[in-house]
């Protein structure tokens, strides 16, 4: 038996032989389209943020070294995040019935591994650099205000970072993993029905 299951052939056999194949494609394509949109919006928003940070540096001319280091760390965090996130884009090709099952499953698994690396490693690096950068950046400007102002400035900023780190990030990753794991399970089921062993 061939190692690859031809989805086009299954498609032509009808739903009795290849249950929910069209639904698997639709679900996978919705997920990849949603991921592409997120990357696209991240590129726009973070590129604007980079330009804003450069403008702040040029216009306000920070005096303290800590402020300059803070700005550099924030810019490095954003650039690292953009570069690593955009490496996911080539994997997000649209699937159709011409694609064989094993190749498609391998592609989805590669996407999953890349997302896990981005979520576990690169987001951690991003948040650490961003937090240190903001802390250093605020020293010059927060020190000009009262103690209450300093507490509020740091408190609100870090409350927002922690909320994003603990709640938003965790919730987003869980939804993302559930969606991609479901697609992988369905593809492995199709492969299993036609004698192809699941991939690890």
pLDDT in tens, 45-79: 999 999 999 998 899 888 899 999 999 999 999 99
pLDDT in tens, 96-116: 555 666 777 788 888 888 888
User: How far, in Å, CA of 95 to CA of 47, rounded?
Assistant: 30
Tokens encoding 23:
């639904």
pLDDT in tens, 87-98: 888 877 766 555
Q: Please, what's the largest Cα pairwise distance for the chain?
A: 76
- pLDDT above 90: percentage of residues in the chain: 23
Kindly write down the DSSP assignment for every residue of 101-148, as one continuous string. Answer: HHHHHHHHHHHHHHHHHIIIIIHHHHHHHHHHHHHHHHHHHHTTS-HH
pLDDT in tens, 162-198: 898 888 888 888 888 888 888 888 877 776 665 554 4
The DSSP call for residue 5 is -
- pLDDT value at 150 more than 60: yes
What does pLDDT average to over the chain? Answer: 81
Say what the pTM is.
0.76
- pLDDT value at 14 more than 50: no
């Amino acid at each position: 038996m061939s190692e690859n299951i031809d989805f086009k052939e299954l498609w032509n056999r009808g739903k009795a032989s290849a249950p929910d194949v069209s639904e698997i494609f639709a679900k996978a394509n919705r997920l990849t389209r949603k991921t592409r949109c997120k990357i696209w919006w991240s590129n726009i928003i973070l590129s604007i943020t980079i330009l804003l940070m450069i403008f702040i540096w040029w216009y306000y001319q920070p005096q303290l070294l800590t402020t300059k280091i803070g700005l550099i760390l924030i810019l490095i965090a954003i650039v690292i995040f953009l570069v690593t996130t955009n490496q996911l884009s080539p994997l997000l090709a649209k699937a159709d019935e011409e694609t064989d099952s094993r190749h498609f499953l391998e592609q989805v698994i590669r996407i999953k591994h890349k997302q896990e690396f981005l979520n576990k490693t690169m987001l951690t690096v991003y948040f650490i650099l961003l937090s240190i950068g903001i802390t250093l950046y605020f020293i010059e400007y927060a020190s000009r205000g009262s103690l209450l102002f300093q507490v509020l400035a740091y408190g609100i900023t870090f409350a927002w970072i922690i909320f994003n780190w603990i709640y938003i990030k965790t919730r987003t990753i869980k939804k993302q993993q559930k969606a991609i794991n479901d697609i992988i399970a369905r593809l492995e089921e199709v492969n299993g029905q036609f004698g192809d062993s699941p991939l690890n």
